[in-house]
């Protein structure tokens, strides 16, 4: 089969290889049969030796990925398993946005899609609506256990949208609500925030904060407060809010954002209070509060922690178990994983996932790559990646990896949590990453950062805005 056998709408003479699939879908020029024919043609051309111009081969366990440059769309992959053709994949933007990324697979004769967006389907999107009905995530490429950490991404789930009325409140009001919340109020809070998170995906966020699947992008204006792991420490969170006057400043119209790095629950004695306060802030100020997902905002992790037990004690056995399931599925499964600012700050809970180099890739992660995002950690003196012997799973990464990752994501510095920080509550890594811990169970101090988003990001800037609780 030659390239001339490709469907007419997909001919290289009609579209340069820089043309991305989303445009074709948006214009309604593509059908299910055409995509299947396209991937089938790629597979046949590979098997007959007619495809030339391989850019690179990446070996991952039993899988080998071969990408090609001389195809009508970029990022077409041939995937071999133990040397035998396993499947063909197109990875790139889908639906109505160039950064709404997914993958289309041809496995045997079956077409599958892995998609983590939540946009409304437009124009030719009826094709993808069909696929989304039987959505599958990407095929396992590394360790099965890591892949199972995130068995479900709920960005594309359809919630019941709720009408939310915000009554102006002071910090004392937020404090009292979180401390005295009952089961019915907690359930309403969870459902309200679920609706807000889903609507962010549907509308792509706000004027100064774009939301694309697992990535939030803040514009280069105003200030931001970055809060590290909280782990059920209500007192530390309240003190951060008090010292920054966050509620008062937002209420007065100041452009300021609160960014929390994940791990809100477990270990401390007030997981419910911390979560209730953060969710209530998100409900009141959705454009100013951004809650990232950490490893404890995953049921596979928190089912071994204290959060479910605290819910059971506070709301009785039956109500606590139901609310535990509700908050995992309706809120935690919808939280974004990363945030990027126009000034060059990249924020995430853990570290650099192996094989991820751009913001578009960061926005579209699934499976074991997401597990790495919340579990991977930096290690001094290391080049590349290495097994994290301390945890017995996931990876350490070196300064060379972080430097390349920051360059590829148009960032100059990383803010992260997850790792212990000693006596100060913060730690730096190669002047490229700042780790924050903002909870009392960290063996030492507690810290947070407030900086301007209108100034080019640097470690010097972050350290100048560092404050200890």
Q: Are residues 106 and 230 in the same domain?
A: no
What's the first-to-final CA gap in the chain, in angstroms?
A: 66
What CATH number should be reported for the domain holding residue 397?
3.60.21.10
Residue-wise DSSP of 376-429:
-EE-TT--SEEE-TTTTSSEEE-HHHHHHHHHHTT-SEEEE-SS--TTSSEEEE
User: Which tops the pLDDT comparison, 65 or 388?
Assistant: 388
Q: Are residues 340 and 456 in the same domain?
A: yes
Cα separation, 143 vs 28, in Å, equals 38
Q: Residue 379 in contact with residue 150, Cβ under 8 Å?
A: no
**Domain end call among 98, 125, 141:** 141
Q: Are residues 119 and 254 in the same domain?
A: no
According to DSSP, the β-strands at 209-212 and 101-107 are unpaired
Q: Residue 122 in contact with residue 26, Cβ under 8 Å?
A: yes
CA 342 to chain centre: 17
pLDDT tens for 1-48 read 233 233 333 333 322 222 233 333 333 444 555 556 667 777 777 777
In a domain, 158, yes or no: no
Cα separation, 14 vs 356, in Å, equals 30
- 174: left (phi > 0), else alpha (psi -120 to 50), else beta? alpha
Q: Which of 74-88, 142-156, 315-329 has the highest mean pLDDT?
A: 315-329
Name the strand (E) or helix (H) holding 224.
strand 223-227
Nearest Cα to 6, choosing from 54, 48, 53, 44?
44
**Domain end call among 141, 160, 193:** 141
Q: Are residues 272 and 341 in the same domain?
A: yes
Q: Domain containing 39: what range?
A: 3-141
In a domain, 405, yes or no: yes
SS3 153: coil
In a domain, 209, yes or no: yes
Name the strand (E) or helix (H) holding 92.
strand 84-93
Q: Residue 246 in contact with residue 260, Cβ under 8 Å?
A: no
In a domain, 116, yes or no: yes
Looking at 27-71, list the stretches that DSSP marks H as alpha helix, in order from N- to C-terminal side: 32-47
Per-residue pLDDT, 425: 92
Cα separation, 35 vs 98, in Å, equals 18
pLDDT tens for 89-121 read 655 443 333 333 345 566 666 555 443 333 322
CA 453 to chain centre: 21
Q: What is the pTM of this model?
A: 0.68
In a domain, 255, yes or no: yes
Q: How confident is the model at residue 203 (pLDDT cuts 50, 70, 90)?
A: confident
Q: Are residues 226 and 321 in the same domain?
A: yes
User: Which tops the pLDDT comparison, 429 or 169?
Assistant: 429
Q: Are residues 214 and 259 in the same domain?
A: yes
Cα separation, 372 vs 353, in Å, equals 5
Task: Give the bridge partners for 112, in sequence order.
Answer: 105
Q: Are residues 14 and 100 in the same domain?
A: yes
Per-residue pLDDT, 426: 95
Looking at 115-208, list the stretches that DSSP marks H as alpha helix, in order from N- to C-terminal side: 126-132, 144-147, 171-180, 183-203
pLDDT tens for 236-262 read 999 999 999 999 999 999 999 999 999
Q: Are residues 330 and 420 in the same domain?
A: yes
In a domain, 401, yes or no: yes
Q: Are residues 135 and 181 in the same domain?
A: no
User: Residue 229 gets which letter from DSSP?
Assistant: B
Burial class, 65, CB count within 10 angstroms (exposed 0-12 / middle 13-18 / buried 19+): middle
**Domain end call among 141, 161, 188:** 141
Nearest Cα to 342, choosing from 402, 411, 288, 291?
411
pLDDT tens for 403-416 read 999 999 999 999 99
Q: Are residues 374 and 436 in the same domain?
A: yes
In a domain, 155, yes or no: no
Nearest Cα to 251, choosing from 186, 187, 172?
172
Looking at 245-363, list the stretches that DSSP marks H as alpha helix, in order from N- to C-terminal side: 246-251, 271-284, 299-302, 307-315, 317-330, 359-363
Q: Residue 360 in contact with residue 99, Cβ under 8 Å?
A: yes
Task: Give the bridge partners for 449, in sequence order.
Answer: 226, 466
According to DSSP, the β-strands at 215-218 and 209-212 are antiparallel
Nearest Cα to 42, choosing from 105, 134, 131?
105
In a domain, 214, yes or no: yes
Average pLDDT over the chain, rounded to whole? Answer: 76
Cα separation, 148 vs 300, in Å, equals 8
Q: Residue 93 in contact with residue 22, Cβ under 8 Å?
A: yes
Q: Are residues 318 and 390 in the same domain?
A: yes
- Structure token pair of residue 159: 């919630």
Q: Are residues 298 and 401 in the same domain?
A: yes
* Number of domains the chain is built from: 2
Per-residue pLDDT, 4: 29
């Amino acid at each position: 089969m030659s390239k001339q056998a490709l469907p007419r709408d997909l001919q290289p003479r009609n579209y340069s290889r820089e043309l991305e699939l989303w445009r074709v879908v948006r214009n309604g020029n593509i059908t299910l049969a055409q995509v299947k024919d396209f991937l089938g043609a790629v597979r046949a051309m590979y098997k007959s030796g007619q495809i030339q111009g391989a850019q690179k081969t990446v070996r991952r366990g039993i899988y080998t990925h071969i990408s090609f440059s001389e195809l009508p769309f970029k990022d077409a992959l041939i995937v071999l398993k133990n040397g035998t053709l396993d499947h063909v994949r197109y990875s790139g933007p889908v639906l109505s946005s160039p950064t709404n990324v997914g993958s289309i697979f041809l496995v045997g004769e079956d077409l599958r899609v892995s998609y983590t967006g939540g946009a409304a389907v437009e124009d030719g999107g009826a094709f993808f609506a069909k696929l989304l009905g039987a959505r599958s995530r990407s095929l396992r490429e590394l360790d099965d256990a890591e892949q199972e950490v995130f068995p479900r991404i709920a960005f594309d789930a359809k919630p019941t949208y709720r009408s939310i009325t915000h009554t102006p409140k002071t910090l004392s009001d937020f404090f009292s609500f979180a401390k005295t919340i009952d089961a019915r109020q907690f359930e309403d809070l969870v459902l309200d925030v679920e609706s807000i998170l889903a609507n962010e995906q549907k509308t792509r966020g706000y004027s100064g904060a774009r939301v694309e699947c697992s990535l939030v992008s803040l514009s280069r204006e105003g200030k931001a407060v970055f809060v590290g792991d909280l782990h059920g420490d209500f007192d530390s969170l309240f003190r951060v809010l008090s010292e920054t006057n966050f509620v008062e400043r937002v209420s007065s119209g100041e452009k300021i954002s609160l960014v929390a790095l994940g791990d809100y629950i477990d270990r401390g004695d007030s997981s419910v209070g911390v979560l209730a306060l953060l969710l209530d802030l998100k409900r009141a100020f959705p454009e100013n509060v951004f809650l990232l997902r950490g490893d404890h905002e995953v049921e596979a992790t928190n089912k071994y922690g204290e959060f479910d037990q605290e819910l059971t004690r506070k709301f009785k056995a039956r109500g606590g178990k139901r609310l535990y399931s509700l908050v995992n599925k309706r809120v935690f499964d919808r939280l974004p994983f990363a945030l990027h600012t126009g000034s060059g700050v990249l924020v995430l809970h853990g570290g650099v996932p192996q094989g991820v180099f751009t913001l578009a890739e960061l926005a579209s992660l699934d499976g074991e790559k997401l597990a790495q995002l919340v579990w991977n950690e930096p290690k001094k003196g290391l080049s590349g990646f290495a097994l994290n012997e301390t945890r017995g799973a996931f990876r350490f990464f070196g300064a060379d990896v972080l430097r390349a990752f920051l360059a590829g994501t148009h960032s100059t510095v990383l803010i992260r949590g997850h790792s212990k920080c000693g006596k100060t509550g913060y730690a730096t890594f190669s002047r490229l990453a700042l780790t924050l811990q903002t909870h009392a169970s960290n063996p030492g101090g507690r810290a947070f950062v407030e900086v301007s988003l209108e100034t080019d990001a640097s470690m010097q800037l972050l350290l100048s805005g560092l404050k200890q609780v």
